[in-house]
Structure 1
Amino acid sequence: MNVKNLEEEANNTEDIKPKYRYIKENSQRKNNTQAYYFHVNNEKIRVCKKFFMSTLNIGDTMIRTAMRKSNDKKIVSPDLRGKHGNHKKLDPALKAGVKKHIESLPTVESHYLRQQTERTYIEGDLTLATLYRDYKRECEESGKPFVKACIYEQIFNFEYNIGWHRPKKDQCSTCERYANSSTVEKAERQSEYEKHVADKTKSREEKQRDVSIALQDPTRVVAVYDLQSVLSTPCSEVSDFYYKTNKEGSCYVWSENTAKRGANEIGSCVLQFLTSNCKEKHVTFYSDNCAGQNKNKYIASLYLYATTFLEIQSITHKYLVTGHTQNEGDSMHSCIEKEKKRLLKGGPIFIPAQWVPVIQGAKKKGKPYHVKEMDQSEFFDLQKLSNDIGTNFITDVEKKKVKWTEIKIMMVTKDEPDSLFFKYDYGDDIPYSKIQFSVVAFNNNIKNRDEEFYETYKERSDKGTSGI
């Protein structure tokens, strides 16, 4: 019952003094009595106490409280419980220790739902009780005081937006299929699942090792590339509308009337990156397994071309395991999405050119993202390049069929410009397989090109020429 209800009861109750009352000597009986009313059609109707309580579904205590807390004008004083400064406060140092522990947890953002939520997720089988036990053990080992479990839970739930299970859109289909299998099906899929988990671990260890080497060796470059989701224009809030990096990021942008989003476009952006950043370097790329964009003979042809003409010593492309492709590129995309949400509060975005400052201002610490607006003339026909290199992309030197969807690592080198090396597994102990192209065809069609490249969209603006 709130103050408003008490005031209504007080307004419907009056103290009255009976005209006639016989009082015994030394009697403790009160001098006044209460009269109870209801207002019906602006008419004040008196009722008995029992009828009054039954209608409002209240008891005698509520009536006495309303009368006691009301003044002469029938205004009830507000509830003063808790309205004092003598509250028990949590030591700021203890709270800081809890927050430090929570912020040290390896959380990941939703890969596909960044636009809908800023929630992050904890991987593994951790629970709040497990986290508190870890926190308590760390405090005991270091001799520091610790808070109770209820305080830890309160800080975790109300000051952080962390979930326990990633959305189904982000979950690996192989892992989920195994987890939801029966005992018999799990036994049948055990070897496949164990290899999948091992590949996931190896791919992440491989990337971490390559990054560590590149940090120590100035002749090496390690980069991750990924295609961000479409940034729609016009865009407005009125309608429907574990990985961090402090390194540099490059964004290559174009509108839908400039180019499409296939291997030609992705490869052309990679060529821009190689030309600008990788002279005299050994380059390592990481990406997901999208066959139409990242894992195909057109991208392989681009790498062969780059090591031939761009003074690049070698290019190695390593593919992360399907379902576990979270990488530093996701952090960039997340920053851009957050900046988009922030700026949309100030007004809509009407034209594609407005996205450039959004991307440039997305990173708040360190170097801002480098944004390259791609011109139509900068997209090249990698299919024509691939045809010039040759058609032998399906068998290796041992006459075995090349399983492109299962390739984990692809490599080309300047020392062997007419060869493509690949592996179906990670690890230095796994030997490379090799695709050998015709030396004569390679020399005639590639080395004698004088670095000529065919534009993908040349016909749109100039149908009279076929190349540049």
Structure 2
Amino acid sequence: MASVSLSRQRGRKRLRFESEWKRKKIKLSKDSGKTYQTYCGALQPLKTIRDLTCRCQYQCGRKLDEEERQRLFTEFYELGAHDEQNKYLFGLLSKEEVKRHTRNESATTRWTNTIVYHVGLKDGTRVRVCKKSFCDLFAIGKRRVENLTEKVLSGVLIAGDQRGRHLNRPHAIQEEWKAKVRDHINSIPRRESHYSFTRNKGKEFLPAELSISRMYDMYLDKYEPQAKDSESKPHVKEWLYRKIFNEEFNLGFGFPRSDTCEICDQLHMAARNAMSNQERECLQKELATHQETAGQGYQSLHKDKEAVKKASNSTIITFDMMQNLPVPTLTHNSMFYLRQLWEYNFGVHDCTTDSATMYMWSELVAKRGADEICSCLMQYISNLPLQVKKLTCYSDSCFGQNKNFEMICFWNWQIVQGRFSQIDHKFLVRGHTYLPNDRDFSHIEKKKDTAVVYIPTHWEELVRKVCRQKPYTVKSMVGSEFKDFSDLVEQHTRRRKDSNKKDVLISKARWMNFGQGVDQHGREVKHLNEVWLRYSYSLDESWSKVSLLKGRKKIPPATSISLPIKYPNGHSILKTKVQDLKKMIPYLPEEHKQFYIDLREQSDSEDSDA
């Protein structure tokens, strides 16, 4: 069982930034001798050096010139903390026996000791001054000095502030009971989140059916059962259990099952079941390397976002397919046995403007393969400003949609046309692919349970309204906008070896570069009709350079490449699915029944991705 460190930098709740509190700022300004406004609004002036006007026997004004007084004053207020200043002053006070007494032997208040005031000079010597000059030198009041002299006379060795630091706490909860709370929280299995490399590092998840209140009841059953069976009060109340849970543990509820990584789960379980320490250490090292690579992907995305802010001719986008949306959204019991129509949603998030565009279509219009993704990207690129010449893309590593030879040909074609001078496509590690699109999709997911959808266009209307602060741009794709890129692919060649005669492993590539790129020596090199591959996110790794030409043949211009409509007659769905959809007609409003009556079907032997 992995224990949770109590020295972690943050718990479940956000950190308190006490330095930003109004009272803290006022206190800091006051202790630093600066002008400040009290909490009630009164303006307090800047602390300044006072003139030494005493006429004592020590001749304070003559011993300390203006430069020395300024040095002592500045040194004192640069400490900036009341406690540190008191320790500084305390070191300048000393106790001495009274050398001469009055002859009245019957006096009851006879002083046996007196306080001597010194200040340190620049050369390291100390000179004695009177009490008045001591206060004037540091612009402090007599009462503050008297508090310190009382501590000197009482034999205190350090003049630290002792307010609130006493040990007289009869109702304090013993550390033993707090340790039991920590042990109980640690005893419950938890799971790590793979979306935690940046803002949410180290967060773990408890089972969804738990809550803090329920965990507290479990604690009482295990450690203090008498508190539930009788009227006796428990040693640990719920407020303390909740406080420890929130402040010392970074835990949430609900296993993020959509967030798991197959490799992480396999290595974690293999390490747990390892027969020897050597085998366990080897597996744990492999797991750490895998998670480090995943973390580098998120770091690369963050760095690219920052870099694009400084370049007006560049933009960065992320894209992903959302989970299929069902049509219609009926709730009666027989719906669990009938197949529904699917609405597809391809999201493109512009990280430069933090805006999202959704390309939506139903399976009656098209499928959701590489041709469909390239068609949507072509629509998005047509709406980009013409001054954008450098494009950086991030996506997951789905081979059927994003990481395939057709996508390589599509990006190269954009370079050959002259639309872009450079394109970089980076792929996050499988299982660790949390993109800004997932945040966009989450707003739609929240509406799924309550959405009333009878036909596909209802989803498009809902997505337009789902985010009020920054409404999504929704493009309803029609059949004529989906192109067949097979002719374009035919103009390229799929090579097995790169320029160095090494194997080309597209499936393991993390970075694809088109048009121009910076080599490992820091030089910018143009390369048309080539794809440069890297198998990590490191700038130090050498590129694997792969030619896309067939011999010396050049890629023809855009006008000579045919991009026919992929579904000129629409996309039909399986006959059995149509039959299921028509069984739902009795449960639909009258105005939407005709949509299902007109559904066109294909035979069960035809290809379908439904």
In the alignment, residue 321 of structure 1 is paired with which amino acid?
V
Q: Aligned with 1:397: secondary structure? A: coil
Aligned to 1:28: none
Deviates more, 1:202-211 or 1:166-175: 166-175
Q: Distance in 1 between matches of 2:487 and 2:309?
A: 36
Counterpart position of 1:457: 567
Aligned mate of 1:362, from 457, 462, 466: 466
Q: 8 Å contact 2:427–2:510 — kept in the other structure?
A: yes
- Within 5 Å, which residues of 2 pair with 1:125-204? 150=239, 153=242, 163-164=252-253, 166-181=255-270, 182=274, 183-204=277-298
Structure 2: distance between partners of 1:360 and 1:448: 34
Q: Which runs of 4+ in 1 moved over 4 A?
A: 98-102, 107-111, 125-129, 154-157, 237-241, 243-246, 439-442
**How far apart, in 2, do the equivalents of 1:378 and 1:151 lie?**
61
Q: What does 1:367-406 correspond to in 2, within 5 Å?
A: 368-392=471-495, 394-406=496-508
Encode CA deviations 1:24-56: one digit per residue, 9 max, x unaligned. Answer: xxxxxxxxxxxxxxxxxxxxxxxxxxxxxxxxx
Q: Which residue of 116, 124, 127 corresponds with 2:203? A: 124
Match for residue 229 of structure 1?
A: 323
User: Which of 211, 214, 224 is matched with 2:308 structurally?
Assistant: 214
- What is the correspondence of 1:14-33 to structure 2 with a 5 Å cutoff? none
1:114-161 CA distance string (max 9 Å, x none): xxxxxxx985359999xxxxxxxxxxxxxxxxxx9826828989xxxx
User: Per-residue displacement from partner, 1:233-276 (whole Å, max 9, x unpaired)?
Assistant: 111355568x9988100111111011101111111111211221
Q: Aligned residue for 2:37?
A: none
The amino acid of 1:358's aligned partner reads: L
**Per-residue deviation at 1:339?**
3.1
After TM superposition, give the deviation of residue 460 of structure 1 in Å: 5.7
Deviation at 1:100, TM superposition (A): 5.1
Identity fraction in percent: 26
Cα deviation per residue 1:361-380 (whole Å; 9 max; x = unaligned)? 111213x1111111212112
Provide, for residues 51-70 of structure 1, a one-character-per-residue CA deviation record: whole Å limited to 9, x for no partner.
xxxxxxxxxxxxxxxxxxxx
Q: Which amino acid aligns with 1:234?
A: P
Q: Is the 8 A contact 2:296 2:537 kept in 1?
A: yes
Looking at structure 1, the residues matched to 365 and 244 of structure 2 have their Cα atoms a distance apart, in angstroms, of 49
In structure 2, distance between residues paired with 1:294 and 1:191: 30
Deviation of 1:413 after TM superposition, in Å, equals 1.0
- The TM-score, its normalising length taken from structure 2, stands at 0.48
The structure-2 alpha-carbon separation of the partners of 1:210 and 1:442, relative to structure 1 and needing over 3 Å to count, comes to: farther
Amino acid at match of 2:541: I
How far residue 199 of structure 1 moved from its aligned partner, in angstroms, is 0.8
SS at match of 2:480: helix
Q: Which residue of 1 aligns with 2:407?
A: 299
**1:330 — aligned with what?**
438
Contact 2:358 2:472 in 1 (8 A): yes
Aligned to 1:27: none
Separation of aligned partners in 1, 2:244 and 2:332: 33
Whole-angstrom distance in 2 between the partners of 1:229 and 1:125: 25
Asked whether 1:426 is paired with 2:520, we answer: no
In the alignment, is the contact (CA less than 8 A) between 2:488 and 2:561 conserved in 1? no
1:203 and 1:251 map into 2 onto residues whose CA distance is 24
Q: Runs of 5+ in structure 2 lacking a partner?
A: 1-11, 17-190, 213-236, 337-348, 517-525, 572-610
Q: d(CA) in 2 for partners of 1:244 and 1:419?
A: 26
**How far 1:188 sits from its partner (Å)?**
3.8
- SS in structure 1 opposite 2:306? helix
* Residues 402/149 of structure 1: CA separation in 2 closer, same or farther (3 Å cut): farther
Conserved 8 A contact 1:389-1:442: no
Superposed CA offset, 1:6-36 (max 9, x none): xxxxxxxxxxxxxxxxxxxxxxxxxxxxxxx
Q: CA deviation at 1:383?
A: 3.1
User: Contact between 1:339 and 1:361, CA under 8 Å: does it hold in 2?
Assistant: no
Query: What amino acid sits opposite 2:402 in the alignment?
Result: N
How far apart, CA to CA, are the structure 2 residues paired with 1:230 and 1:125? 28
Cα displacement (A) at 1:417? 2.4
Is there any run of 5+ residues in structure 1 with no aligned partner, and where?
1-97, 112-120, 130-147, 462-468
* Aligned CA distance change for structure 1 residues 332 and 403 (closer, same or farther; 3 Å): same
> How far apart, CA to CA, are the structure 2 residues paired with 1:201 and 1:333?
22
Query: Is residue 353 of structure 2 the alignment partner of residue 254 of structure 1?
Result: no
**Residue correspondences, number:** 323
> 2:514 is matched by which residue type in structure 1?
V
Cα distance in structure 1, aligned partners of 2:409 and 2:362: 25
2-structure distance, mates of 1:228, 1:125: 25
Change beyond 3 A, Cα 1:194–1:363? same
Displacement of 1:395 in angstroms is 2.0
Q: Taking structure 1 as reference, are residues 383 and 249 closer, same or farther at Cα in structure 2, changes over 3 Å only?
A: same
- Partner SS, residue 417 of structure 1: strand
Cα shift at 1:221: 1.0
2:394–2:425 contact (8 Å) kept in structure 1? yes
Aligned to 1:275: 382
- Any conservation in 2 of the 1:305–1:446 contact (CA below 8 Å)? no
Q: Kindly tell me: are residues 99 and 408 of structure 1, through their superposed partners in 2, closer, same or farther at Cα, counting changes over 3 Å?
A: closer
Corresponding residue number in structure 2 for 1:19: none
The answer to whether the Cα contact below 8 Å between 2:515 and 2:527 also exists between their aligned partners in 1 is yes
Q: Report the 3-state secondary structure (helix = DSSP H, G, I; strand = E; otherwise coil) of the residue aligned with 1:229.
A: coil
Establish whether residue 435 from structure 1 lines up as the match of residue 562 from structure 2.
no
Counterpart Cα distance in 1 of 2:205 and 2:322: 31
Separation in structure 2 between the aligned mates of residue 454 and residue 175 of structure 1, nearest angstrom: 43
Work out the CA distance in 2 between the residues paired with 1:314 and 1:430.
19
Is the CA contact 1:110–1:166 (under 8 Å) kept in the aligned structure 2? no
**2:494 and 2:324 mapped to 1: Cα distance?**
33
In 2, the alpha carbon distance for the partners of 1:452 and 1:380 equals: 9
